[in-house]
Structure 1
Amino acid sequence: MRTLVCTQPGNFEYLDGITPELKQSHAILKIRRVGICGTDLHAFEGTQPFFEYPRILGHELAGELVEFDNAPGFTAGEPVTIIPYFYCGTCIACRNGKQNCCSRIKVCGVHQDGGMVDYLAVPSYSLVHGQGLSFDELALVEPLAIGAHAVKRAGILPGEYVLVVGAGPIGLGTMQLAQIAGAKVIALDVNDLRLNFCREKLGITHVINALKDNVSEALMTITNGDMPTVVMDATGNLKAINNAFSYMAHGARYVLIGLQKESISFSHPEFHKREATLMSSRNATSADFEHVIDSMKKGLIDPKTYITHRVKLEQVKDTFESWLDPSNGVIKAMVSMD
């Protein structure tokens, strides 16, 4: 079985893997697509928290259901994706319906080996019906669900100004889901290529380049002096996260989607006088997956818009490092296992 392993930061190796055998309450998938996300890039760089090597990457997956146990309603051969956050079911978070932040969570491709393999065994509860979507589309449900969950956490109301910091794949998905919720979205990034993508592909009117524009002045102008009532970070960059505290309106909510290793800092008086709310958004729930799939089926999201680079598994080792270079214009790289 073909297997691509990240053996240490900066290095991949192709190895022969063992084809999994069916276990109780598990399913075996033939992997057809693997989307590359920021977590994979950070793992390659050596900057991903909670990470150990060697590791098989890949959690944005689409595949064919080969065989399964205890998965009522599913059929062998059908296209599926998975919710790649494997949970314990007994901790306080799980008992409260928050399996996305299980205290003993094992994220596929992060805490345990992921989908850059021909065949992958997953818990049957993680299966999600394809509902007629293509393999490309199914591999994009998970990253878009991250944005859907963050939007739900923020409690966005129609007409609110929502600032999304970071126009990478997660940030772009967050922007689109915020638009679906009725928000007036403002995109903030340092890369003009990505800001142009926001304008041209997502129809976002308000874009700000943090390296070229006075961000606070631009936000004051766009919001008629109010500042955004929702700020969402999708950079995982410490400087960007800390700076964005100053962009909040009084009474605003700040949602941290991106993740980095250091401690954040902000002025307590400035935060307090705003009666601001700070929250994190981790992973996504089954309801978020269903919301994204429904939005795709209704034509509110065209997931193929996000795919800018395509490679076969055999090309990943020699190509992966180039995806770290912003000048290459990567939004979403998609690995075909065919």
Structure 2
Amino acid sequence: MSTNQAISVEGDRQKLWQPQRGLNKVVEQVVKLTFLIFALISVATTIGIVLSISYETLEFFKEIPITRFLTETEWSPTFANKKFGIIVLVCGTIVTTAISIGIALPVGLLAAICLSEYAPEKLRRILKPALEILAGVPTVVYGYFALLFVTPILKGFIPGLETFNALSAGLVMGVSIIPLVASLSEDAIYAVPNALRQGSYALGATKRETIMSVVLPSALSGIVASFILAISRAIGETMIVTIAAGQNPQLTVNPFVKVQTMTAYIVQVSKGDTPAGSLVYKTLFAVGAALFFMTLVLNILSFWFVRKFRQKYD
């Protein structure tokens, strides 16, 4: 083939490819625009939630000073003698959350290590979906399971345990969030490059030492993220604590008595009997703002912890 013929063929190829390149550029721009729209929708939704909660919360604080909200030790906004001590609901939330994460975090992390580092690949493919089935159980089922099954068993070991109590609610809530911790932590651990493990073994480290000193630090960001999500899930859990923990707001850290969490109060008031615009109605948004603030603090702490840990190992 002569030089002129080769140039002609190459020119024909370029002419054929030009429309295709143009089409690819159009598709790429459409994809970018679609992603941008969805990102803006997410941001706008978040801003809308914050603004709606903030507006009603500010209306609440126009009637009730924030000092009463933070310092009073009783919570009875529906009574004649109204009290607005949010610390009562916060204590109930913290007690049930502490019990649940005491179960979910160690069990979930150990399950993740077992699935990623010790279980054969075939067994892992069976166990992980089986574990994640727990995440598909409705929380109302967990609530009745805690009330009708776990509480009677605990009463046989703990004299004086009330029918509605924080202990059984926290234990069952911990079981319900184990799949969240295990699945996310296992994904983070499994994603650690195998070369790091082989390098540790080459230096004479045992499997346990490799997991503790190499694998877990490398997967820390994913593990911490799973922990924070689990804690946030426990703080925001509604049906389990509403059914099993009771609806008696009292300032206590005793897990053997009935308590009321922040989410349980929201369920109690938002049943449709509370007039819109009333003071009791506005307490829903004040409690919701407190929940939002707690989860925000948790996320800030997780970002700080991961950043400090990475600086330590860099």
Q: TM-score, normalised by structure 2?
A: 0.25
Larger radius of gyration: 2
Structure with more contact order per residue of length (Cα contacts < 8 Å, sep ≥ 6): 2
Question: TM-score, normalized by length of structure 1?
Answer: 0.24
